[in-house]
């Protein structure tokens, strides 16, 4: 009892210093290293999106259309009517703060405006001011505007929106903790749609979508170059295994169409994952006669349109079903990617379906029905491979990956977006002996984002990427120090690129691998020679000395 | 009682104050959270900061040097301090801090020690204590830590720019390679500068 404070002692402890101000009064400072460059005018023009012109986020004048406030007001109104979720999310937040400390950008940058509740409040405050009765009544009372939590739209508010809605990777970790199930990613999606009505996209998104619209993939690779790159991998694989994996392109009447992000074809270390797919398809063809074709038209699984607007996403996605129809395949198999799968799993069927010209996917080798893909007709490659392994259909030599001490990063979109949690782990544990999970509050549904998703994997915002990726890197560092983990496995093309750089800054001894790269290493092809190296041309475990001689 | 013994005695109180003053460099709402959450995965910045400050403080206690010691004199000693500081500096190097703001927390240690150990000295007045040679040596050590912090901050910033450059080089190189313009160059040679 004596330790309890008396009322006057308690009163003495109250800090009467006013806090340093309301968040609304803290002006935005667009800091280099934290933002991405503005979209190039020509890229905006390709898709016929409005207000294409050169502009710079750090300039005072953003060269907005004269009626920009009206455009924003109408855009919010239209979206409130069109998307019930958006309307509900605008109204029901009670600002309990459960999400506040769950965002990797808040945890890494320490900027309170990156608390998901506050980031959403940036938009919600304008919604309240413009669209709620309460705010309109309260505005009549002196000081009432602040009581309603509303504020009018100004240029500073727009700049604040732009700065912070491009500091959200739409990863949806915050939504896991929201007692109301508010999906802050959808609020970011709406904000970014509004930016596109004013010509305020970033170039790391605008140029890839422009390329994709023109040539079929984000990197703007033309069909012959796409084919040549895969043939180049074929040569590499032949050198390592002695087997020509003979990829097929645009083959009419094949069983399965395979679509993967173009990053797998053109960006290291994704290219090694791509070689893993090629080895797997060769194995299945030789052993079971499975006929898989690549497409030089549907040469992109990723869809940066998703980070632009629903319409752009739909336009870029359309080629998947179109190509499957043209080739007359039974169903579609998709490669290792993150946001590609959110688009496929949650939007493709309603946007560009029904794909009634395709069959409900069944693995012809095992007879497994992929019930979850019944409607979309598209199966994730780790589900497919996990099924093959479960039925003992693959001959694997784990020893070839014995030098890989693994942990696994759940990509936000595949884990939270589609519940793909155990299949990648199952594959991994069947091709590697050493696997250690990161702590439970950093994996599966609670996984931390790489910090570079949703089109933020540019170079100029490196500080943002490194800060946003800190919670993920921190968990990797822990298993690296505790278990000697040297390899971070993942099933996302952006992760493979982004995490490699992230590791170089925070945990330089850890390398990033795709799951099918490890499958490619372990899988024993018919007629292969004794392999001396892995797909990266590094000596296999036990072959190091021979290499030195 | 010499200053090292006093620092050891008051270690917990000093560290608590040092941690709080470092965390108070963040906006108020953030600081509240960083101080509160103890889980190292839910609160990586708070926990890495605390750990790093503890290690740095231990390095100061273990530093066996004279007043005339110059910063780069002993590479082992230098690495020990820089490694202890690395986690906290590595984080602050990518956050919204200027260079001076990022390393300012080191100098705070002097004031914290003055106010904490000053109280402890019943025999001597604070002024006398501050004038003592052992206190001067302690201040010299803090200055060395400040230099180490500045060194490490620069290394982290260089690292960031190198990462930017390496990503850009890889990107451009693969474009050239696709166009068949650099068949004789291999990518590792081109980006090899990142290893140096």
The number of angstroms, rounded, from the C-alpha of A323 to the middle of its chain's C-alpha atoms is 24
Helix (H) or strand (E) holding A320: helix A310-327
CB-hemisphere CA count at 13 Å for A164? Answer: 27
Residues A445-468, mean pLDDT to the nearest whole number: 97
Helix (H) or strand (E) holding A389: helix A381-390
Band of pLDDT at residue A549, cut at 50, 70 and 90 = very low
CB-CB neighbors (< 8 A) of B55 in chain A = none
Q: What phi and psi, each to the nearest 5 degrees, are found at residue A405?
A: -100, 110
Asked if A504's CB is within 8 angstroms of B178's CB, the reply is: no
pLDDT of residue B194: 47
A259, A334 contact by CB (below 8 A): yes
Asked if A471's CB is within 8 angstroms of B160's CB, the reply is: no
pLDDT at residue A118 is higher than 70: yes
**Residue in B26, B37, B41 nearest the CB of A442:** B41
Residues A186-198, mean pLDDT to the nearest whole number: 97
Mutate which of B23, B86, B93, B96 to disrupt the A interface (most A C-beta within 10 Å)?
B96
pLDDT of residue A19: 53
Decide if A231 touches B, using CB distance below 8 A: no
Consecutive sets of 10 residues in chain B, 196 residues long: mean pLDDT of each? 84 96 95 92 97 96 84 83 97 96 96 83 61 83 95 97 89 65 58 49
| CA triple A374-A379-A383, angle to 5 deg | 115
Burial of A24 (0-12, 13-18, 19+ CB in 10 A): middle
pLDDT digits (tens, 9 = 90+) for A11-50: 676 665 555 567 888 889 999 999 999 999 999 999 999 9
B23, B46 contact by CB (below 8 A): yes
| CA triple A514-A448-A334, angle to 5 deg | 35
Minimal C-alpha gap between B171 and chain A (Å): 8
- Closest residue, chain B, to A33 (C-alpha): B94
Minimal C-alpha gap between A142 and chain B (Å): 28
Tokens of B64: 């066996």
- Entry field: residues in chain A: 549
Asked if B164's CB is within 8 angstroms of A460's CB, the reply is: yes
Tokens of A405: 């001490």
Considering only CA atoms, which of B176, B102, B171 is closest in space to residue A460? Answer: B171
DSSP A321: H
Burial of B39 (0-12, 13-18, 19+ CB in 10 A): exposed
What is the rounded CA–CA span in Å between residue A294 and residue A247? 7
The number of beta carbons lying within 10 Å of the beta carbon of residue B128 is 11
What is the rounded CA–CA span in Å between residue B95 and residue A370? 45
Interface of A with B in 489-518 (CB under 8 A): 501, 504-506
Secondary structure (DSSP) of A444-508: GGGPPP-S-TTT---STTHHHHHHHTHHHHHHHHHHHHHH---EEEES-HHHHHHHHHHHHHH-T
Decide if A229 touches B, using CB distance below 8 A: yes
Asked if B43's CB is within 8 angstroms of A459's CB, the reply is: no
Burial of A94 (0-12, 13-18, 19+ CB in 10 A): exposed
- Closest residue, chain B, to A115 (C-alpha): B30
**Residue in B28, B96, B170 nearest the CB of A111:** B96
Interface residue ranges in chain B relative to chain A, Cβ cutoff 8 Å: 26-30, 33-34, 37, 39-45, 48, 90-91, 94-96, 159-160, 163-164, 166-168, 170, 174, 178, 187, 194
For helices A84-92 and A184-197, angle between their N-to-C axes, nearest 10 degrees:
120
Mutate which of A34, A101, A104, A110 to disrupt the B interface (most B C-beta within 10 Å)?
A110
Mutate which of A17, A107, A208, A437 to disrupt the B interface (most B C-beta within 10 Å)?
A107
Q: What is the pLDDT of chain A when averaged over all its residues? A: 94
Asked if A225's CB is within 8 angstroms of B178's CB, the reply is: yes
CB-CB neighbors (< 8 A) of A459 in chain B = 164, 167-168
Which residue's structure tokens are 């009064």? A25
pLDDT digits (tens, 9 = 90+) for A264-314: 998 889 999 999 999 999 999 999 999 999 999 999 999 999 999 999 999
Q: What is the largest CA-CA distance in chain A?
A: 86
The number of beta carbons lying within 10 Å of the beta carbon of residue A334 is 25
B107, B91 contact by CB (below 8 A): no
pLDDT of residue B5: 85
Mean pLDDT lowest for which of A80-94, A219-233, A525-539? A219-233
Asked if B167's CB is within 8 angstroms of A501's CB, the reply is: yes
DSSP B184: T
Residues 6 or more apart whose CB falls under 8 angstroms from that of A62 comprise: A55, A155, A158, A159, A200
The number of angstroms, rounded, from the C-alpha of A238 to the middle of its chain's C-alpha atoms is 32
Mean pLDDT lowest for which of A10-14, A149-153, A197-201, A400-404? A10-14
Asked if A442's CB is within 8 angstroms of B163's CB, the reply is: no
Residues A397-401, mean pLDDT to the nearest whole number: 98
Minimal C-alpha gap between A394 and chain B (Å): 34
A535, A240 contact by CB (below 8 A): yes
Tokens of A11: 């009163």
pLDDT digits (tens, 9 = 90+) for A334-360: 999 999 999 999 999 999 999 999 999
Q: Taking phi first (over 0 means left), then psi (-120 to 50 degrees means alpha), and beta for anything else, what does residue A181 get?
A: left
Asked if A475's CB is within 8 angstroms of B90's CB, the reply is: no
pLDDT at residue A92 is higher than 60: yes
Minimal C-alpha gap between A541 and chain B (Å): 22
Residues A442-448, mean pLDDT to the nearest whole number: 97
Tokens of A83: 């998307």
What is the rounded CA–CA span in Å between residue A307 and residue A383? 26
Residues A394-414, mean pLDDT to the nearest whole number: 98
CB-CB neighbors (< 8 A) of B43 in chain A = 101, 107
What is the rounded CA–CA span in Å between residue A135 and residue A148? 5
Where are chain B's structural domains?
A: 3-161
Band of pLDDT at residue A1, cut at 50, 70 and 90 = very low
CB-CB neighbors (< 8 A) of A112 in chain B = 27, 29-30
């Amino acid at each position: 009892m004596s330790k309890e404070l008396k009322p006057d002692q308690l009163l003495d402890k109250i800090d009467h210093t006013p806090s340093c101000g309301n968040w609304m009064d803290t002006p935005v400072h667009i800091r280099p290293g934290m933002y991405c460059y503005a979209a190039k005018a020509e890229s905006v023009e390709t898709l016929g999106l409005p207000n294409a012109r050169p502009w710079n986020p750090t300039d005072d004048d953003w060269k907005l259309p004269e009626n920009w406030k009206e455009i924003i007001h109408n855009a919010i109104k239209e979206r409130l009517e069109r998307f019930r979720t958006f309307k509900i999310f605008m109204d029901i937040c009670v600002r309990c703060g459960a999400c506040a400390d769950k965002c990797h950008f808040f945890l890494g940058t320490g900027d309170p405006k990156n608390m998901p509740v506050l980031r959403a409040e940036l938009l919600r405050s304008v919604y309240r001011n413009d669209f709620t009765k309460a705010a309109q009544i309260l505005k009549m009372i002196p000081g009432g505007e602040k009581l309603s939590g509303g504020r009018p739209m100004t240029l500073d508010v727009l700049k604040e929106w732009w700065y912070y809605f491009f500091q959200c990777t739409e990863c949806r970790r915050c939504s896991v903790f929201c007692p109301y199930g508010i999906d802050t990613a959808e609020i970011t999606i709406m904000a970014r749609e509004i930016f596109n009505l004013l010509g305020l996209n970033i170039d790391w998104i605008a140029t890839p979508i422009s390329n994709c619209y023109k040539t079929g993939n984000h990197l703007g690779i033309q069909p012959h170059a796409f084919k040549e790159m895969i043939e180049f991998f074929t040569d590499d694989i032949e050198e390592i295994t002695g087997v020509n994996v003979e990829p097929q392109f645009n083959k009419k009447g094949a069983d399965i169409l395979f679509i993967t992000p173009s990053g797998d074809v053109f960006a290291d270390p994704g290219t090694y994952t791509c070689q893993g797919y090629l080895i797997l398809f060769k194995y299945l063809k030789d052993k079971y006669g499975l006929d898989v074709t690549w497409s030089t038209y549907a040469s992109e699984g990723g869809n940066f349109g998703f980070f632009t607007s629903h319409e752009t996403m739909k336009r870029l996605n359309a080629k998947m079903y179109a190509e499957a129809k043209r080739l007359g395949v039974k169903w579609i198999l998709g490669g290792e990617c993150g946001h590609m799968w959110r688009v496929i799993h949650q939007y493709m069927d309603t946007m560009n379906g029904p794909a009634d010209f395709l069959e409900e996917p069944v693995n012809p080798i095992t007879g497994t029905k992929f019930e979850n893909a019944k409607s979309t007709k598209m199966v994730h490659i780790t589900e497919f491979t996990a099924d093959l392994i479960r039925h003992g259909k693959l001959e694997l030599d784990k020893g070839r990956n014995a030098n890989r001490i693994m942990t696994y990063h759940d990509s936000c979109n595949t884990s939270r977006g589609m519940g793909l949690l155990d299949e990648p782990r199952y594959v991994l544990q069947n091709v590697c002996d050493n696997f250690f999970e990161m702590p439970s509050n950093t994996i599966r549904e609670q996984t931390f984002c790489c910090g570079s998703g949703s089109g933020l994997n540019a170079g100029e915002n490196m500080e943002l990427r490194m800060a946003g990726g800190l919670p993920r890197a921190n968990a990797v560092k822990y298993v690296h120090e505790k278990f000697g983990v040297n390899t971070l496995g993942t099933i996302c093309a952006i992760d493979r690129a982004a995490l490699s750089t992230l590791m170089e800054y925070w945990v330089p001894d850890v390398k990033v691998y795709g799951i099918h790269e490890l499958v490619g290493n372990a899988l024993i092809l018919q007629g292969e020679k004794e392999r001396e190296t892995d797909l990266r041309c590094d000596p296999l475990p036990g072959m190091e000395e021979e290499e030195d001689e | 009682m010499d200053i090292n013994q006093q620092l050891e005695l008051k270690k917990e109180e000093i560290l608590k104050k040092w941690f709080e003053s470092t965390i108070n460099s963040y906006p108020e709402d953030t600081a509240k959270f960083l101080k509160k959450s103890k889980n190292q995965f839910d609160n990586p910045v708070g926990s890495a900061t605390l750990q790093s400050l503890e290690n740095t403080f231990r390095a100061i206690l273990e530093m066996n040097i004279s007043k005339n010691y110059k910063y780069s004199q002993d590479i082992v000693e230098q690495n020990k301090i820089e490694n202890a500081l690395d986690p906290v500096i590595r984080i602050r190097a990518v956050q919204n801090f200027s260079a001076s703001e990022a390393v300012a927390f080191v100098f705070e240690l002097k004031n914290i020690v003055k106010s904490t150990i000053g109280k402890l000295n019943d025999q001597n007045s604070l002024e006398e204590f501050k004038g003592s040679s052992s206190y001067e040596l302690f201040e010299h050590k803090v200055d060395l830590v400040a230099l180490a912090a500045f060194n490490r901050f620069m290394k982290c910033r260089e690292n960031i720019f190198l990462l930017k450059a390496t990503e850009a080089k890889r990107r451009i190189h693969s474009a050239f390679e696709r166009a068949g313009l650099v068949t004789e160059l291999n990518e590792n040679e081109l980006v090899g500068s990142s290893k140096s």
